[in-house]
Structure 1
């Protein structure tokens, strides 16, 4: 069998196993190990073992559990409640104001947490019931929280970007800088959509009643809840962007700072510390299993020479590089409906990155477009993770059909933004070039 045929058989076997409900990490790992045994015998297991060991010892990966821990500590310390209270006081009198403010909170939480689930769950528990209670349209209320939660992929510090840097060898700092402007643009587009639609159709997002409106003194007082998270965000990103520390060391600064914030708020208890440590271990362990499975799988088809053959075949085609780029983006979108973002990263990037570089495209620009695609994957039926997060915390009366329907406008916005970033690469590359040259 040719390398192409073996690689196709491996992917087909993986998808077949996934259809049985087996976790993706075990689907990848088992197909990779069995393929290696079939192709090269038991000696190949030693090669796979040392490959995994070498990669898992990478210093960059230490940032993942540290940033996750930081996010969970901030989440458990009640900062999300303070943020929503401030938004309620400042934005509630506008049509759609609570929705617009909730998107802003999701963006702030993305800059504090770096993962999608925390903002989606927090705002699903806090903001969705509050908006529904004030007669907000159900689709807008749950849709904007899911889309806003996915900003954690794009706004630094992003776990996805750390993993991308680990796979590609790109600078974490450049990737973080590349995500800032697109993240802000997407958040603003969500806000504009909610604001315009609620202005044209006031019944979809009515303003709060007169007796709920706050005085200027109450509004100013509510801003104190922004001080601690604002200082922590600036400390972490400032350490990275200005070269004070490496991203991994900045993650340690963030974790320590989050503990300090919790202590100042008198929320740092032994019980909270144990719960956040357990949640961090669960997320980090799950991530490590996917990485190991994907490494084993990708090492086999790389060892077959399939990666080099695909690169040579595609680069040698008499086809516009832009067509090849668009096909890659479409493949990310389709795979994102069924596969975990990390699995897509480890399976596709060994093939796609050499092609992108050979075609002369900016690798940071390509990376951010991949991350935007993974944002869409997290809210795209049937298997978008944020859809299930929302179902887990949504009030009674919110069906899975409601959740699926609610994300459609936001997927369209994300797709429009992706096209915008493709047409105007400087939206992504301007800040990295400014900060890092």
Structure 2
């Protein structure tokens, strides 16, 4: 019954029905069928009100609307546009300079918005026409923009890491209790933020190294677009004005979380207020724009919490139908032990990333598999970073990657779908390489949290 429930949900989702209502509706339908067949105890549903109250009263999840608000305000205030103009003027004098500008600005935009779709759309609108018009390869340009856009999954402060932090904390405590540890430790959002810093920077570094290799092999494909003249003081003032406000804001928000000065929710509130100040200083804060930002924030927040409510109902019914025991038996009989179980989970999450957003996967799949994997001895921070990079790779992989659809929607006639698919393949390989590096050296994800938090 539990396996049939999961398969039916996947099928209904592929038909295009809303995720939250599919999760809740199918779960309640199978709860009714299970009650009639004697496979489900309806008294378990009495726990549902307290579960839902716990979801809506979770202080960590309050950071989600605040970070969404911060990112949307920065997006509307044309921070990325000014950054890209300044960086293109600085690096455009060198071969491939525009691509490095895209990587740098995309990294900052990913850190400020934390939303893949917003980053891909913004970078696609601003940089794709400039790259193609200046002679850069359409396929490589499209691939670089998509790859840079997905950095929002891994570079903190990422909404994906906030949601993963809350889910993994509960899973880690559940795993420890199952092992007889009655004073369980928890994993915080700050742990995941610290764990994601080095892998995120390594990934950007690998993008740059790959681009340098291509410039060495085929320099004619990466023309310089600006004269090698001296940069005057006015340029440096424009660059500082474009770069310093968002950079200071990101450092304040991220630094306060990593140093333990503020909780993620408190830091997010500072980020939201700081974004408003930046928009005001840049004269981009209007009543109409603020209304659009608030409406967008409410929509995203409502979607997140509605999916979380549906996922809570699904999780309760799935466990009541014996799904947890089924997964435990599957992992226990898996060839290769914990390595085989980890490979299976990563493969399932990768495939589900084609049809589900990271929010659904975080709330539906991770709570089912994470307690068992953590009970098998995996580090929760390492597991969280691996899941984030895996989802990032899935969102980039043809033909179903979400990032590809976002860029296709704004690219119009500049590139074809085939060129986008061709351009992202090398970057998918680079992200798979990062996952391999994390598997060989877990310290890439665990060293910094240990140094900060002990």
Q: Give the TM-score of the pair, scaled to structure 1.
A: 0.94
Structure 2 counterpart of 1:197: 214
Cross-structure match for 1:261: 278
* Equivalenced residues, count: 431
Q: 41-50 or 403-412, which moves further after superposition? A: 41-50
- What's 1:221 paired with? 237
How far apart, CA to CA, are the structure 1 residues paired with 2:330 and 2:406?
A: 41
Residue 241 to residue 313, structure 1, CA distance change in 2 (3 Å): same
Equivalent residue for 1:16? 11
Aligned-residue offset at 1:312 = 4.8
Per-residue CA deviations over 1:96-136 (Å, capped at 9, x if unaligned) read 11111101111111221222122211111111111111011
Give me the whole-angstrom Cα distance separating, in 2, the residues matched to 1:208 and 1:415: 32
Give the structure 1 partner of residue 34 of structure 2. Answer: 39
Bigger relative CO (Cα 8 Å, ≥ 6 apart): 2
Q: How does 1:230-379 map to 2 (within 5 A)?
A: 230-315=247-332, 319-379=336-396
Deviation at residue 366 of structure 1 after TM alignment? 0.8
C-alpha separation between the residues in 2 aligned to 1:213 and 1:120? 32
Going from structure 1 to structure 2, the CA distance change for 1:59 and 1:373 (only over 3 Å counts) comes to same
Is 1:385 equivalent to 2:385 in the alignment? no
Q: What residue is the counterpart of 2:63 in the other structure? A: 63
Dislocated runs of 4+, deviation >4 Å: 41-46
Counterpart contact for 1:178–1:428, Cα < 8 Å: yes
How far apart are the structure 2 equivalents of 1:411 and 1:188? 15
Q: Please tell me whether residue 122 in structure 1 is matched to residue 138 in structure 2.
A: no
Conservation of the 8 A alpha-carbon contact between 1:311 and 1:354: no
Are 2:89 and 2:226, in contact at CA under 8 Å, matched by a contact in 1? no
Task: Choose 66-75 or 14-23, whichever is displaced more.
Answer: 14-23
Partner of 2:419: 402
Structure 2 SS opposite 1:407: helix
> CA 1:164–1:209 in structure 2 vs 1: closer, same or farther (change >3 Å)?
closer
- Alpha carbons 1:154, 1:371 under 8 Å: kept: yes
Contact 1:124 1:390 in 2 (8 A): yes
Deviation at 1:411, TM superposition (A): 0.7
Given the alignment of the two structures, is residue 28 of structure 1 paired with residue 23 of structure 2, yes or no? Answer: yes
- Greater alpha carbon shift after TM alignment, 58-67 vs 324-333: 324-333
Secondary structure class of the residue paired with 1:61: coil
Give the RMSD, CA atoms, in angstroms: 1.9
Structure 1 segments unaligned to the other structure (5+ residues): 1-5
* Residues 31-80 of structure 1 deviation map (CA, whole Å, 9 limit, x = unaligned): 11211222237766554344223222211111001001000101111111
Does residue 111 of the first structure (1) align with residue 84 of the second (2)? no
1:213 is displaced (CA, Å) by: 5.6
How does the TM-score come out when normalised to structure 2?
A: 0.90
* Aligned 8 A contact 1:89 1:213 in 2: no
**2:443 aligned residue:** 426
2:64 and 2:343 mapped to 1: Cα distance?
A: 30
The gaps in structure 2 that reach 5 residues or longer are: 37-41, 170-186
Distance in 1 between residues matched to 2:345 and 2:26, nearest whole Å = 24
- Bigger drift between 419-428 and 196-205 goes to 196-205
Counterpart for residue 175 of structure 2: none
SS in 2 for 1:59: coil
Per-residue Cα deviation, 1:293-339 (whole angstroms, up to 9, x for no partner): 22211221122332144225523656332222222222221221222
Q: Whole-Å Cα distance in 2 between the matches of residues 56 and 376 of structure 1?
A: 30
**CA spacing shift, 1:44–1:35, aligned 2, 3 Å:** farther
Q: Deviations over 1:187-213 (max 9, x none)?
A: 111122122213321232211143x86
What are the superposed Cα offsets for residues 191-239 of structure 1, whole Å, 9 maximum, x if unpaired?
A: 22122213321232211143x8662435423322111011101110111
CA deviation after TM superposition for structure 1 residue 286, in Å: 1.7
Change (3 A) 1:222 1:377: same
